[in-house]
A and B are shown apart, each in its own frame.
Chain A
């Protein structure tokens, strides 16, 4: 069902939305820097920004999340659960890449073997209002990763920006609940065809040529390849690419305790940090950047497909845009072609002599 929302009604729409839901949307923190954040006032919402630095995964999988609290009460400990979600939630303005990433996160956190209650409760309570990407950047390669700038899958409602208004598509049962919303009106054929035009133009823009298909098989025998000797060299080992990745989902669980009370917290962790794989004995099975860079790429393009049948990359391009040393994952993917691997191997062998 296709409706429209006038931008002059946006604020009022958000106000009514916030009466019923906790609203999460892009908020500008500084010039060119934005994140998804719980909204206190509709004025904070900024749908004009580029894709925010921090991906929308944070709404379901916060960077730092309390799992429970504990406090000494007499001789026993009193535990307080933090699992529950008090109100229904709406994510507004998530891009198709981030929304595609939710389904990959679902594989991990809501898979057959294990269901994560913290992630699951938030996920279940959330309505997703996706926002189409009319201007994919040159670093965007969602179209190579099974997505696209107008991919609707995963959205309950889907917005297309027409300048003065948004086209609003109601896609699921959760979306249809908005059918009677007083700010939504029927879109006319002219507006619908305008949206279609934008869609057609955008769909040619996101790079569809990054050779992701078959990478899980190609990378099968790469574990000990000298390829990695060179691949990691420029990586400085910070966590930018993993923290800003919409599909990276590793975490570390710690107790934050003071005397007789505390909380168990899980924080995002990055396989590029040495501490990530450091064992209690002091031994580190991934002692250098070589093993850590390999882990990041192999997890995305080999282990994850083995476990869940698709790569853990949605082509959002954040790791390319924000890497301090211009490590470009597209180049790494291209280098996994047998011909390229042989070239690198020959070069390493030559210089090893």
Chain B
């Protein structure tokens, strides 16, 4: 069982001092949830768990622990984020020990919550079913009907460039068409696209959960926080909010692993991944580049060649 393997490996890494800290997932305080767990004591590894609710991209925590040797539990997307961060020289050599887990695809807790009438008080995962229980109901739901869209379309469930893989490899076959959100967005007319973007961002409360949940957002000073120069106002004017979201997405070009952490973090349930997915698709089509696959090739917009074609300049 993967959970046992994670614990075993974590115990080993802490005991032989390969790492100072393990970052993994622990039991959440709510049904359908896990919570990031930080373990330093090999005796406490039993606090680590693994299930279909391990939705966070734990790579975002690595910026907090730059002075420690860290062992981290990673899914396919999380591992790709770390490879992308390594390219940006965020880690010292051998600072990290990646415990890769072939991912079974994560479950969208809000979608599950909406499938039943009443609050879910208990949830249990068993094979391909999620058993949920509340006041006056108890039903089993098909796990596959409640996966996050980013997970449904995932093409890299097996973590790559990891120190160890815990669990058997899974088949790389998206359940739905890859880049489906981007394609749907492309099919809209410019006016429809704008309306969609405008409607979604209108709910933004500028809590920056999307930024903080994202491992790639680590600027010492985010452009929205700069007061000199001041790029953006801090209120709720639509143009400021839209500006933030456009820049946030563009800054991810060729750097986003498509993990969906931004969208999962949003308390206002703003759709965000269609934007980054569109940029990922463009980068794939124009440069045949995918984030975090090649450990030595920087993202296209972070580099240049003197022989680069410039035929777009007329």
Contact = CB atoms under 8 A, between A and B. Distances in A.
Interface of A: 29-33, 35, 53-54, 63-64, 135, 137-139, 230, 233-234, 236-240, 242-244, 252, 254, 256, 265, 267, 270, 273-275, 289, 320-322, 324-328, 330-331, 347, 350-351
B110 A236 contact: no
B89 interface: no
Interface of B: 28-30, 33-38, 40-41, 56, 60-61, 64, 110, 113-114, 118-119, 121, 202-203, 205-209, 211-213, 225, 233-237, 264-265, 267-269
Contacts of B237: 64
A278 B35 CA distance: 29
Given A31-B114, A237-B212, A244-B207, 16 more contacts: A30-B268, A30-B269, A53-B268, A63-B236, A64-B237, A135-B118, A138-B30, A234-B36, A236-B209, A240-B207, A243-B206, A243-B207, A265-B233, A265-B234, A273-B208, A351-B41
A238 B211 contact: yes
A270 B28 CA distance: 25
A142 B37 CA distance: 28
Nearest to B29: A328
Nearest to B225: A275
A141 B268 CA distance: 22
B29 A324 contact: no
A160 to B, nearest CB: 19
Which of B208, B233, B264 has the largest count of A CB atoms less than 10 A from its CB?
B208
Give the 6 A-B CB pairs with smallest separation, nearest first: A64-B235, A324-B265, A239-B207, A238-B209, A326-B35, A322-B267
15 contacts: A29-B268, A31-B114, A31-B269, A53-B267, A63-B235, A63-B236, A135-B118, A233-B61, A233-B64, A238-B213, A239-B206, A240-B267, A324-B264, A325-B213, A328-B29
A33 B207 contact: no
A63 B205 contact: yes
B205 A54 contact: yes
B207 A238 contact: yes
Nearest to A269: B234
Nearest to B28: A326
A289 B207 CA distance: 16
Contact of B268 (A33, A256, A270, A275): A33
